[in-house]
Amino acid sequence: MTIELTIRPTCHHHRINRELLIRRSQWLMQQNGVQDHNLSLLLVDDQEMKALNLHWRNKHKPTNVLSFPSDEGAHPGFAQLGLKELGDIIISVDTAAREAAQHNETFHHRLIWLITHGLLHLLGMDHERSEGEAEAMHAREQQLLQQLKHAKDSTMTHLAINVDHVATIRQARGITEPDPVAAAAICELAGASGIVVHLREDRRHIQDRDVHVLRETIKTKLNLEMGAARDIIDIALRLKPDMATLVPEKRRELTTEGGLNVSGQKKKLGATIEEMNQAGIPVSLFIDPDSKQIKASHAIGATFVEIHTGRYCDATSEQERDMEFELIAQAAEEAYDLGLRVNAGHGLDYQTTARIAALDTIEELSIGHAIITRAVFTGLDQAVREMQKIIREASRIA
């Protein structure tokens, strides 16, 4: 099957995730038994759509989607040629964006709905022919979108919880309470898929004792966040966490400030990955949503990348946030397509997580500060469950 997706330059301000649209279209074609056919998808702006709508339907306004089956108006002999061409679906992304806002759904969710609608037209359904046909088409549309939701359920984004800041509170007094090990157990009981701790060189929060007890007690998965420094690597090799996330570490920073410059230190990081892999520890590289870093991570044999969501979370305007979000979506897509497993995290909270969790290229989110902060007021169990609910609901749509 070939899906030819053309996006007009006039649509580029919408930052369209083309890989997602292609994968969803492939899935829809499979569900309708036409996976061996070719499909053309054209994304245009309202102005072009208005001209097309006037030309083909004599209507003086843009519409959301137009479909042109390849055999429409063709000579009867056309069918005998056995061509596997479905035809063209043309979508106005301006209208799709407006409709998404009106229906309070994501832009890509709306685009996928429009592709579904257009595809059913290409397959011969038509809601304009009769009421009965309108009902049948609507029912099929709903069925497909429901199936898509279930298909996504099986790839639901996981939540790994970073309990560093439980240790931060303990270290403020230099005593033994609160214990991040107890916190990890509560997180697991509340449904977390993994626990993350950052053993910093300055030991400002998590201590050596913590990682060793956590290694013994964690039932899900221990992700050790660490700088690629010799003494920490040696600890990791002995500890054997379920995975390690390499981050840049600066003594004077309040928290990890940016992603790793993988492309600038391929040799050093490649050697660390090799060493860790030989000890059976898969490695994730914490990187900014940047194609150069993704390619370098892949080239040096990382199993995962964790995409830095900090700039998206810190955005001070909707426009900036949308822009940062699209960078993350595209980076996740690129990494996923290269065969990397993709996690994301940093700065995510109860408002910013849903959009990221809706990206089905992302396997796991690493969230700490927001959950521990909320736990001060609601208790840890509830804080984890509330975040789980956001992730569960978000990864079912889009």
- Residues in the site for ligand PXP, rule: CB under 6 A? 162, 164, 198, 225, 245, 247, 255-256, 286, 306, 345-348, 366-370
Backbone angles phi, psi at 197, to 5 degrees: -135, 145
From residue 265, give the alpha-carbon distance in Å to each of 89, 244, 257, 299. Answer: 45, 18, 18, 12
Q: Choosing from 14, 346, 363, 364, which is the catalytic residue?
A: 346
How many Å from the N-terminal Cα to the C-terminal Cα in the chain? Answer: 23
> Per-residue DSSP letters for 166-228?
HHHHHHHHTSS-S-HHHHHHHHHHTT-SEEEEE--TT-SS--HHHHHHHHHH-SS-EEEEE-S
Question: Could you tell me the smallest distance in angstroms from the CB atom of residue 196 to ligand PXP?
Answer: 7
Choose the catalytic residue: 108, 198, 298, 308. Answer: 198
- Is there a catalytic annotation at residue 108? no
103 annotated ligand binder: no
Distance CA 289, CA 294 (A): 8
Q: Is 117 annotated as a binding residue?
A: yes
- In the complex, the smallest distance separating the C-beta of residue 205 from ligand PXP, rounded to whole angstroms, is 9
Main-chain phi, psi angles of 90, to 5 degrees: -120, 130
On whether 200 is known to bind a ligand per the annotation, the reply is yes
- Chain-centroid distance of CA 90 in Å reads 26
* 38 vs 168, beta carbon nearer ligand PXP: 168
Q: Which is nearer to ligand PXP, 144 or 247 (CB)?
A: 247
Nearer Cβ to ligand PXP (212/369): 369
Among 48, 188, 225, 334, the one annotated catalytic: 225
Minimum Å gap between C-beta 198 and ligand PXP is 5
* SS3 assignment, position 387: helix
* Residue 64 or 245 with smaller CB distance to ligand PXP: 245
Helix 18-31 and helix 107-122, axial crossing angle in degrees, nearest 10 = 40
> Residue 28, Cα to own-chain centre: how many angstroms?
20
Residue of minimal Cβ distance to ligand PXP: 368
> Is 164 annotated as contributing to ligand binding?
yes
**158-181 burial: b if 16+ Cβ within 10 Å, else e:** bbbbbbbbbbbebeeeeeeebbbb
Question: Of the two residues 42 and 383, which places its CB atom closer to ligand PXP in the complex?
Answer: 383
Q: How far is the CB of 195 from ligand PXP (least distance, A)?
A: 12
In the complex with ligand PXP, which residue's Cβ is closer, 17 or 352? 352
Contact status, residue 305 vs residue 335, Cβ threshold 8 Å: yes
Asked whether residue 121 is marked as a ligand-binding residue, the answer is yes
CB of 180 to ligand PXP, least distance (A): 13
Count of Cβ atoms closer than 10 Å to residue 270 Cβ: 16
- Measure the CA–CA gap between 370 and 162, rounded to whole angstroms: 10
* Shortest Å, Cβ 113 to ligand PXP: 32
Rounded to 10 deg, the angle between the 291-299 and 318-338 helix axes is: 20
d(CA 196, CA 177): 19
Per the annotation, the verdict on 225 as an active-site residue is yes
- In three-state secondary structure terms, 162 is strand
Q: Is 165 annotated as a binding residue?
A: yes
Specify binding-site residues for 1-deoxy-D-xylulose 5-phosphate. 164-165, 200, 205, 255
Annotated binding site for 3-amino-2-oxopropyl phosphate: 162, 173, 347, 368-369
Annotated binding site: 117, 121, 127, 162, 164-165, 173, 200, 205, 255, 347, 368-369
Task: Please report, in range form, the residues annotated as the binding site for Zn(2+).
Answer: 117, 121, 127
- Residues with active-site annotation: 198, 225, 346
